[in-house]
Structure 1
Amino acid sequence: MIRRELWFGLSFMALIVIAATVMLLRVETITNGHLGLLMLTLVVVAIMLGFPTAFTLMGMGMIFTWFAYDRNTTHTLDLMVQAAYKTMANDVLIAVPLFVFMGYLVERANLIETLFKSLHLALARLPGALAVATLVTCTVFATATGIVGAVVTLMGLLALPAMLRAGYSIPLAAGSITAGGCLGILIPPSVLLIVYGATAGVSVVQLYAGAFFPGVMLASLYVAYVILVAKLKPDWAPPLSAADRAVKLPAQTQRLTADAGRHAFAGLIGALKGRRNADVSTGFLLRQLFIVLLPGVLFALLAYTSYRAVTTVAAVEQYEIQEIGSARGGAGEAASSGVQEPPAESEGGLQEPASQGQGGLAEPPGAGAVQEPPGAETKAAPAGGAVKSEAAAAPEEATTRPAPTWWWVCFAVFGAIVALFYLFLSFARLEIFKMLLASFFPLMILILAVLGSIVLGLATPTEAAAMGALGGFLLAAAYRRLTLGVLKESVFLTAKTSAMVCWLFVGSAIFSAAFALLGGQQLVEEWVLGMNLTKIQFLVLSQVIIFILGWPLEWTEIIVIFMPIFIPLLDNFGVDPLFFGLLVALNLQTAFLSPPVAMAAFYLKGVSPPHVTLNQIFLGMLPFMGIQVLAILLLYMWPQIGLWLPQLLYK
């Protein structure tokens, strides 16, 4: 296998070098723009040979900048300093170490084992339950951490042996783990979206809002594929046995009943009466009842507060309308206006003494300079009273409005889920729910708090990342995993990852500046525009190029090297950079799944049993790569999948 990978890599590099050579030989005069394309070619080949990406970008950028400046070392060094300073002054990058720190702390809280066990018991009735539980666990954990290597490695240690013991197909098990583990680079809070936003100048907040539904759609397609395969090929994903689905009841619950399938709510209520709870403490029963009633209480509170929020009209809007209306009123119509009365008084005070011809001090009172405004107020009282009564009546009529359709749909869906929860709540399912409370819901609360504060505009990505890091710190402490060694390791890994990202940005800035200085960007733009492509053709061409680049390169290299080339072309074809970023984020899932540089496969191979080969892992990843292509097509055909939420929140 190593020889095949080596031959593939060498062949790919040879094709790149041959294409660059043919291009240079066909032109009559080699310009600086052609030198820029040569620099791009050499960078890709050097990265494929294993040179560090960041320093390769910086080195190539400096060498070719020196040629572009006619070997002027001073100008070359000035460009390097300016590019590095511009990158380090980017405030968006502050969120990177904070999100990474949150991910490492959550990873070390060791929730993944309990999460996987509770989910596979909760989903035991579904076909392919273990693979589905693996995908859901990977999705939740990848969203909380965003660290692909950590998620794939942990799930390889935890889920792969369980699926192999259950008789699952090795390719299906490997594909589920690798595909699910890579979702962290797409679903917010994602470092990839921060890097793209900083590179393309797109709002990270809008990227987070836009990537939410495409990420959920991709995860749902994965789950649907696994269920379909388990239905069509039961020998690839055998159903769980009764022993694997069995849930052990606590000792005090066993004193109440030996039947795990008995309805929990009725059993607990019955145990509170008479002698049935003689062997079980009342405190235990009340605690269990509190847990049982918790979903219903939370649903009622959320339904009530959300209904009040969507049906109440803000009073501030009424005051603004009333104030604008009073400002538009005439001077004679609303004499009580504080803005209009002083001119009336001043005009009366200046004109009436002249008409009366009496003392300047006596005439104004006699002429009504002081008395006329009360008279005017008396005359205008009905009108003023009418305005006040209308203003008083308007809020009463407009304080509420009908709830929108989407609220009723959500209310019906969640209400049905809660009703089904209580309808089928046995003692066994109560134990599964308690396991989910201890593993699934803390992570979901942390994720929703971070994403909700960003998407709703309550905090910037940097502020939300800081709160997420604090949440990860508290979560690790709550599960008694926060030790000095864990904290030191998390800080060290965060510094290492953040340094890599920052150096990549510095190298990308120097490379992009050199590429633009040589005229490579202009040459690429002229070449693309000379092809007379339509918008659809341009999007297809760009996504195919990114898909192919995902074979030899990682997503970081594709973002920092090739996005500065694609982004300036978007205006010429009327493509929204936000929408383009969502397509790229979906497409870059292939960077971890496409051989030969499929890092997720190597992460899994490192922890898998010896009989699991790399070929089997690659074979299992191919259907999920096809699903990624399908997700890209769905997003292109229905852009509102990604654009609806940003347009709703930030229109």
Structure 2
Amino acid sequence: MDGILHTLDILMFAVACVCLMAGFPVAFTLAGVALVFATLAVLFGGSVTLGAIPNRIFGTMSNETLIAVPLFIFMGVMLERSKVAEELLETMGRLFGRMPGGLGISVSIVGALLAASTGIVGATVVTMGLLSLPTMLRNGYCPRLACGSIAASGTLGQIIPPSIVLVFLADQLSNAYQTAQRDMGNWSPEPFSVGDLFAGALLPGLALVGLYISYQLFVAFTQPHKSPPMKVNADEAAPTLSQILHALVPPVALIIAVLGSILAGIATPTEAASVGAVGSLLLAGYRMDMQKTLPIYAAVLSLIALLVLTSFMDLRVARNEIGAGDQAGIYLAYLLCAVLAYGLGVAVWRVWKGTVLVPVMRSTTQITCMVFVILIGATFFSLIFRDLGGEELVTEALTGLPGGALGAIIAVMLVMFVLGFFLDFLEIVFVVVPLVAPVLLQLEMPNGEPMHPAWLGVMMAVNLQTSFLTPPFGFALFYLRGVAPPSVRTMDIYRGIIPFVLIQVLMLAILWYFPALATWLPEVIYG
């Protein structure tokens, strides 16, 4: 009996992987496998704590950080429906297209901007595939390079904040970091938040964009026939400054409002996500009727004024003593909120009349439900896996590897990379990270310092990004295949992403040798 009990944890993980690879629904596979093996454990004389699951689910429901997820999803879907991507692609293509490799560079830049403003991989890949791929092919681009550029740039939403992946990864790493610190005897560790991981991922994300652009330039100058300049009609002029600003300012302003408010400490990630949702709604309302813009401009200025006012004054009303200056600020905030509410009402009316609001709400609800059902299923799985001794098994396996911290990190990165061929990033975040992170966070970084959770999180995020690019289940490849013209073969897409996957592996190596790339900004901002 004891021998069977000691092998249930390994069998449980193996059965879950087989079922997931067979295509069964993720959430029901994780929860179902957990319940089956919990029953087997009880039958063979073991004990499991199924009674803790309701508390775990309630803890997920009451987790304020995770409220940011549906807000970020709403922001991304609303921006995708408001044609921001289309205008960006068209303007950047006209701006850079005249130079060798210019269309590939414009795809990388637009992918980075959309990643920081929408963060939804599927919407970005589909939009760029519909708009950019035919243009690149018509101008003589190599199909492999064109497909690889679009698929890789579309997945930047995984690493460039604000990203839904980083929100979930930070939540899991926060719990793992607390566990690791307690195991090391530190009962009052410094908290680790979503803002820390956002700050840590910013520079590596921009560095990854730089590597993509460098590769585009390398191909353009070494193999110019693969990425020629765009064919321009004699009567077609370059975009004017006003056209460039009209395409760039709205998404960049939204990025600054969301990410800047987090990094500046003005707002929590959840509060910043609400700012992003409001901003995307105002932007969509502006696009629906560009003749009557006064209510939208007034609302945007009120939103900016509220952010500035919050950073300089204490606007809490539930206080015993409120100074004259703060009281004036509170009255001003009431007025700004009224103007903002009026502008939001106008924007909601416009997007509802334009048949945009209902599809956006439906899509947001579907994506949010899918994510949280997977989270609940993963909660079942991780709890039962721990009860069966899986945590001790993982600890022994990682600490027993040759090479110490280097061997453990390489092993985990290889496992996550291979799992990315078959599993979605959510399964890996919810199943693998809680098992390995508490052990890894007790080791040292390459520079000899205690392992920083932001560095580990960025390493995992870059690794997880490959799960969208690697066949057979790379979702970015499926999205692109669905919108690519018939002349583009599936093998062109598969071969086109190989250089970009290698670039991401190079980014992992850079992070390994220069961990400050991920740890410097969080320490500067949050100390």
TM tier, shorter chain?
A: 0.7 to 0.9
Which one of 490, 506, 517 corresponds to residue 360 of structure 2? 490
Aligned to 2:325: none
Alignment of 1:623-634 (within 5 A): 623-634=499-510
Question: Post-superposition shift, 1:648?
Answer: 0.4
Kept in 2, the 8 Å contact 1:93–1:194? The answer is yes
**Which residue identity is paired with 2:262?**
I
Matched, 1:524 2:356: no
**Which residue identity is paired with 1:601?**
L
Aligned to 2:240: 432
Aligned to 2:271: 463
SS at match of 1:573: coil
The 1:98–1:243 alpha-carbon spacing in structure 2 relative to 1, beyond 3 Å, is same
Which one of 227, 231, 246 corresponds to residue 237 of structure 1? 227
Matched, 1:112 2:102: no
**Which residue identity is paired with 1:465?**
A
Tell me, in whole angstroms, the C-alpha distance in 1 between the residues paired with 2:48 and 2:204: 45
Question: Post-superposition shift, 1:73?
Answer: 13
Alignment of 1:348-363 (within 5 A): none
Question: Post-superposition shift, 1:539?
Answer: 1.3
Kept in 2, the 8 Å contact 1:102–1:469? The answer is yes
**Which residue identity is paired with 1:488?**
V
**Which residue identity is paired with 2:483?**
V
Alignment of 1:355-434 (within 5 A): 431-434=239-242
The 1:503–1:217 alpha-carbon spacing in structure 2 relative to 1, beyond 3 Å, is same
Aligned to 2:203: 213
Alignment of 1:180-191 (within 5 A): 180-191=153-164
The 1:93–1:33 alpha-carbon spacing in structure 2 relative to 1, beyond 3 Å, is farther
Aligned to 1:228: 218
Which one of 438, 442, 461 corresponds to residue 585 of structure 1? 461
Task: Tell me the C-alpha RMSD between the 2 structures.
Answer: 2.0
SS at match of 2:497: helix
**Which residue identity is paired with 1:456?**
A
**Which residue identity is paired with 1:523?**
L
Tell me which of the two structures has the higher relative contact order, counting C-alpha pairs closer than 8 angstroms and 6 or more residues apart.
1
Q: Percent identity?
A: 39
Aligned to 2:252: 444
Question: Post-superposition shift, 1:136?
Answer: 1.0
SS at match of 2:288: coil
SS at match of 1:588: helix
Kept in 1, the 8 Å contact 2:31–2:381? The answer is yes
Which one of 153, 157, 172 corresponds to residue 199 of structure 1? 172
**Which residue identity is paired with 2:358?**
K
Aligned to 1:138: 111
The 1:519–1:568 alpha-carbon spacing in structure 2 relative to 1, beyond 3 Å, is same
**Which residue identity is paired with 1:615?**
M
Question: Post-superposition shift, 1:89?
Answer: 2.1
Kept in 2, the 8 Å contact 1:205–1:455? The answer is yes
The 1:113–1:535 alpha-carbon spacing in structure 2 relative to 1, beyond 3 Å, is same
**Which residue identity is paired with 1:529?**
T
Question: Post-superposition shift, 1:125?
Answer: 4.5
Aligned to 2:427: 557
Aligned to 1:602: 478
SS at match of 2:240: helix
Offset from partner CA, 1:387-433 (integer Å, 9 cap, x none) = xxxxxxxxxxxxxxxxxxxxxxxxxxxxxxxxxxxxxxxxx5xx432
Alignment of 1:564-579 (within 5 A): 564-574=434-444, 575-579=451-455
What stretches of structure 2 of length at least 5 have no aligned partner?
175-191, 290-349, 445-450
Tell me, in whole angstroms, the C-alpha distance in 1 between the residues paired with 2:519 and 2:434: 22
What stretches of structure 1 of length at least 5 have no aligned partner?
1-27, 248-427
Matched, 1:164 2:137: yes
Aligned to 2:41: 68
**Which residue identity is paired with 2:12?**
M
Tell me, in whole angstroms, the C-alpha distance in 2 between the residues paired with 1:582 and 1:534: 20
Offset from partner CA, 1:216-251 (integer Å, 9 cap, x none) = 00111001101110111111011223427931xxxx
Kept in 2, the 8 Å contact 1:109–1:476? The answer is yes
Offset from partner CA, 1:144-171 (integer Å, 9 cap, x none) = 1111111111111100010011010000
Question: Post-superposition shift, 1:649?
Answer: 0.6
Kept in 1, the 8 Å contact 2:49–2:384? The answer is no
Which one of 62, 68, 71 corresponds to residue 95 of structure 1? 68
Tell me, in whole angstroms, the C-alpha distance in 1 between the residues paired with 2:70 and 2:103: 33
Count of residue correspondences = 442
Q: TM-score, normalised by structure 1?
A: 0.66
**Which residue identity is paired with 1:593?**
L
Aligned to 2:300: none
Alignment of 1:208-357 (within 5 A): 208-243=198-233, 246-247=236-237
Tell me, in whole angstroms, the C-alpha distance in 1 between the residues paired with 2:46 and 2:408: 39
The 1:192–1:245 alpha-carbon spacing in structure 2 relative to 1, beyond 3 Å, is farther
Q: TM-score, normalised by structure 2?
A: 0.81
Which one of 482, 485, 495 corresponds to residue 619 of structure 1? 495
Tell me, in whole angstroms, the C-alpha distance in 2 between the residues paired with 1:495 and 1:244: 47
Q: Report the more deviating stretch, 472-481 or 444-453.
A: 472-481
Matched, 1:453 2:329: no
Offset from partner CA, 1:124-153 (integer Å, 9 cap, x none) = 343211111111112111221111111111
The 1:99–1:550 alpha-carbon spacing in structure 2 relative to 1, beyond 3 Å, is same
Tell me, in whole angstroms, the C-alpha distance in 1 between the residues paired with 2:281 and 2:248: 17
**Which residue identity is paired with 2:54?**
V
Kept in 1, the 8 Å contact 2:394–2:436? The answer is no
Question: Post-superposition shift, 1:640?
Answer: 1.2
**Which residue identity is paired with 1:619?**
R
Tell me, in whole angstroms, the C-alpha distance in 2 between the residues paired with 1:563 and 1:491: 31
SS at match of 1:246: coil
Tell me, in whole angstroms, the C-alpha distance in 1 between the residues paired with 2:234 and 2:270: 44
**Which residue identity is paired with 1:536?**
L
Aligned to 2:24: 51
Tell me, in whole angstroms, the C-alpha distance in 1 between the residues paired with 2:119 and 2:268: 19
Which one of 383, 390, 404 corresponds to residue 513 of structure 1? 383
Question: Post-superposition shift, 1:498?
Answer: 1.0
Kept in 1, the 8 Å contact 2:416–2:463? The answer is yes
Aligned to 1:363: none
**Which residue identity is paired with 2:114?**
F
Aligned to 1:636: 512
Tell me, in whole angstroms, the C-alpha distance in 2 between the residues paired with 1:500 and 1:241: 44
Offset from partner CA, 1:306-350 (integer Å, 9 cap, x none) = xxxxxxxxxxxxxxxxxxxxxxxxxxxxxxxxxxxxxxxxxxxxx
Tell me, in whole angstroms, the C-alpha distance in 2 between the residues paired with 1:449 and 1:72: 56
Q: Which has the larger radius of gyration?
A: 1
